[in-house]
Structure 1
Amino acid sequence: MGCLNIMSKKNRKKKNYNPNYGKENATYELKKLIKKFNESDNFWIGLVHDIIFVAFVVGAFMLVSYIIFGTYTPMVAVESGSMEPHLQIGDIVFIQSTDRTDIITYEDGKKINYKSFKDYGDVILYKKYGSNAYTPIIHRAMYYVEKGEQMWKNGPIAPHSGYITKGDNKITNQYYDQQGGVFPEPVKKEWVIGIARARIPLVGYVRLLIPLDILHITREVKV
């Protein structure tokens, strides 16, 4: 009988043993902690909660931006009227990386009837000399020249291959950028940040008034 009782106790212990007890308990405690964190009225805990939320939203936005546009920073706020009437001051413009697509110039767009922002060819965002020391410029790619060619009729010789660019504003930008003093050289392909694909009117005024660098919105240069 004594032996039988000992075996019964062992069987009961074995039957009641749960190998996942520790994991379940840890999960339960973690859920309690998260719930307490979310419902806390403490200022510092609330601040940390908001920072985590903003970081998550920005991270998700950057990931989606990279998937769609091929860049983590796909927006530019227009701050000059050089592209009017097709791009207005305060517009937010979405930029697609040149790794995802080819640039179609005004000259080529006219041949195949391709338009972007109500005119032929692509509008590109570029940096002078590809340097971060300069604010990006968003203008239309008019045509491509090879090194040694005239940049325009009776114009100077191109020091290297690249795009001749121009703002759409017929009043303030009557000449090519390379002709009117905006930028003296053809824009090399590697200096192009991306191609303008869409615009949201006026939203960029927020960026122009407040330095919201956390949203990864850059500015267009004034010309």
Structure 2
Amino acid sequence: MRVSKIFLQIIQLALIAASALMVWNTLKVITRTDSPIVVVLSGSMEPGFYRGDLLFLYENDDDIEVGDVVVYNATEREIAIVHRVLDIIPANDSTFSLSYQSKLEWNNDFTENFYLTKGDNNRYFDQPLYGDKDLLSRDDIKGRIRGYFPYVGYITILLNEKPWVKYILFAIMGLAALAGNED
């Protein structure tokens, strides 16, 4: 009897994990982005968004506009960045003067727009965050912010910055599972 009860609990845990994965993948399909939910990790977007805010992303085919808050990842870093689009460099605009550009002689013979971003609370543009790029392309932008829950993401920050909290939570869950097994 005891083995069947343990087996049933394992199946229940597997179903919970599968359900969470299905919800995440459904959100990815609905929002059309690989990361439908992100957590603000720094104060660079204050006072619009604060550290720990949980942001909901959505991606569509509409043009990105100046003022949109986007999530991008222009380098191989794992962490996506949430900042505001401050300028758009139009495709094939040979008259555009990129006054804050530092790395290249500007010659726009491309067929797509490029974007320049900055955190609302930052002093400088994001160009150093772009890695070996001078500007963001549309492919670098993972989505636009469509809503948020204030401070809900602090749970994620706490679990990442203080790993011992994870172990305490796992221990509590394990003790609860053991206590639930007793007949």
Same fold, TM-score > 0.5, yes or no: yes
**1:176 aligns with one of 112, 118, 125:** 125
Please report how far the alpha carbon of residue 71 of structure 1 lies from its aligned counterpart in structure 2 after TM superposition: 2.9
**Aligned partners of 1:139 and 1:167 also within 8 Å:** yes
Q: 1:216 maps to what in 2? A: none
Distance 1:207 1:104, change over 3 A: same
Deviations 1:57-78 (A, max 9, x none): 4303421x13531235301111
Q: 2:70 maps to what in 1? A: 124
Please report how far the alpha carbon of residue 151 of structure 1 lies from its aligned counterpart in structure 2 after TM superposition: 2.4
Q: 1:102 maps to what in 2? A: 62
Amino acid at match of 2:134: E
Calculate percent identity across the aligned residue pairs.
Answer: 28
Distance 1:159 1:89, change over 3 A: farther
Mapping for residues 31-42 of structure 1, pairs under 5 Å: 42=5
Distance 1:66 1:182, change over 3 A: closer
Q: 1:93 maps to what in 2? A: 55
Calculate the aligned-residue CA RMSD, in Å: 2.8
Aligned residues: 149
Q: Quick one: distance in 2 between partners of 1:78 and 1:140?
A: 13
SS at 2:49's partner residue? coil
1:73 maps to 2:19 = no
Please report how far the alpha carbon of residue 145 of structure 1 lies from its aligned counterpart in structure 2 after TM superposition: 1.3
**1:53 aligns with one of 9, 16, 19:** 16
**Aligned partners of 2:74 and 2:129 also within 8 Å:** no
Deviations 1:74-126 (A, max 9, x none): 011111000000010001101112xx2324322xxxxxxxxxxxxxx211111
**Aligned partners of 1:165 and 1:177 also within 8 Å:** yes
Q: Quick one: distance in 1 between partners of 2:107 and 2:120?
A: 25
Mapping for residues 21-40 of structure 1, pairs under 5 Å: none
1:164 maps to 2:116 = yes
1:187 maps to 2:136 = yes
Amino acid at match of 1:101: D
Question: Structure 2 length normalisation: TM-score?
Answer: 0.68
Question: Structure 1 length normalisation: TM-score?
Answer: 0.57
Q: Quick one: distance in 1 between partners of 2:69 and 2:115?
A: 11
**Aligned partners of 1:141 and 1:166 also within 8 Å:** yes
Structure 1 residue ranges without an equivalent (≥5): 1-39, 107-120, 212-223
Deviations 1:161-198 (A, max 9, x none): 510111111xxx122212xx333611011111111111
Structure 2 residue ranges without an equivalent (≥5): 161-183
